[in-house]
């Protein structure tokens, strides 16, 4: 099975490329083909150090998507519309995987004029320093993406809560649950398999695509807890 990781030169794309290349043909996409090739070469050097002769390819986003069975959107929320527009003409039967989390800092800012809130400057700064889920109009990033995709193209929303640096560090053992949302059980089963192919990830069925906001919004929660409590490699695990 061929996997394209659009935005594969970025933080989370690197981890998916490295971890999935053990079993799948992975191509990373970029807006810039030279950048994609350079990142692919860097990732292949890492794989070589770990004794793997698997090879990651690098190309432009559209070519990567065209030749894939599964397309990961490892792109920031605000850049999604242009990337979907780019790949729409070549979409056929590929399954799209969204890992996208819309987050903001500025929208969480505590309004100093709000009724009873009395805080001094330092306290205000501290309290302003957190992330929140920036709810898209459609309800979640996945629902927005579903609206942008041509009819018949299946979307699965997953892997939102895995920290990029941990995923990309092959020395790190992962121990996370992966909430998987989507309307097609066929596509979700394929994504379950992808998650199981990364050691110590446990995919869990969350529900249809409408449930994606619940999983997406766990990411700012995890980041806030990690940064305030100085915890590393934090993710989600249901026990």
Ligand X SMILES: NC(=O)c1ccc[n+]([C@@H]2O[C@H](COP(=O)([O-])OP(=O)(O)OC[C@H]3O[C@@H](n4cnc5c(N)ncnc54)[C@H](OP(=O)(O)O)[C@@H]3O)[C@@H](O)[C@H]2O)c1
Contact call for residue 9 and ligand X (CB under 6 A) = yes
Report DSSP letters for 131-197, one per residue: -EE---TTSSHHHHHHHHSPTT--EEE--TTS-HHHHT-TTSPP-EEEEEEES-HHHHHHHHHHHHT
Binding mask of the shown chain, residues 40 to 79, with x at each position contacting ligand X by CB under 6 A: ----------------------------------xxxx-x
CB of 159 to ligand X, least distance (A): 6
Contact call for residue 131 and ligand X (CB under 6 A) = no
Contact call for residue 4 and ligand X (CB under 6 A) = no
Contact call for residue 99 and ligand X (CB under 6 A) = yes
Q: Which residue is nearest to ligand X (CB)?
A: 10
CB of 53 to ligand X, least distance (A): 25
Q: What is the DSSP letter of 21?
A: T
CB of 207 to ligand X, least distance (A): 19
Contact call for residue 32 and ligand X (CB under 6 A) = yes
End-to-end CA distance of the chain: 32
Find, among 20, 27, 17, the residue nearest to 64 by Cα: 27
CB of 128 to ligand X, least distance (A): 21
| Gap between the Cα atoms of 79 and 208, Å rounded | 24
User: What is the separation of C-alpha 155 from the centre of its chain, rounded to a whole number of angstroms?
Assistant: 13
Contact call for residue 172 and ligand X (CB under 6 A) = no
Contact call for residue 97 and ligand X (CB under 6 A) = no
Of 1, 2, 10, 132, the one binding ligand X (CB under 6 A) is: 10
| Gap between the Cα atoms of 35 and 171, Å rounded | 25
Contact assessment for residue 237 and residue 175, using Cβ atoms and an 8 Å cutoff: yes
CB of 44 to ligand X, least distance (A): 17
What are the residues binding ligand X (CB under 6 A)?
A: 7, 9-13, 30-32, 35, 74-77, 79, 82-83, 99-101, 160, 162-164, 219
């Amino acid at each position: 099975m061929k996997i394209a990781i659009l935005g594969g030169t970025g933080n989370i794309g690197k981890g998916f490329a490295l971890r999935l290349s053990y079993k799948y043909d992975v191509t990373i996409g970029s807006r810039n083909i030279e950048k994609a090739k350079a990142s692919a070469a860097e990732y292949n050097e890492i794989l070589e150090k770990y004794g793997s002769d698997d090879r990651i390819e690098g190309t432009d986003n559209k070519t990567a998507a065209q030749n894939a069975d599964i397309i990961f959107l490892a792109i920031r929320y605000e850049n999604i519309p242009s990337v979907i527009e780019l790949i729409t003409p070549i979409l056929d039967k590929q399954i799209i995987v969204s890992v996208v989390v819309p987050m903001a800092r500025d929208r969480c800012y505590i309004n100093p004029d709000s009724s009873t809130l009395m805080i001094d400057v330092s306290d205000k700064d501290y309290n302003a320093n957190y992330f929140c889920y920036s709810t898209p109009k459609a309800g979640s990033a996945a629902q927005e993406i579903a609206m942008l995709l041509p009819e018949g193209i299946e979307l699965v929303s997953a892997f939102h809560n895995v920290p990029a640096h941990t995923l990309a560090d092959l020395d790190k053992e992962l121990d996370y649950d992966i909430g998987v949302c989507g309307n097609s059980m066929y596509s979700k089963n394929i994504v379950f398999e992808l998650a199981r192919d990364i050691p110590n990830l446990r995919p869990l069925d969350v529900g249809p695509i409408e449930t994606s906001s619940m999983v997406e919004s766990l990411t700012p929660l995890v980041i806030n807890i990690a940064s305030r409590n100085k915890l590393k490699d934090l993710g989600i695990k249901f026990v």
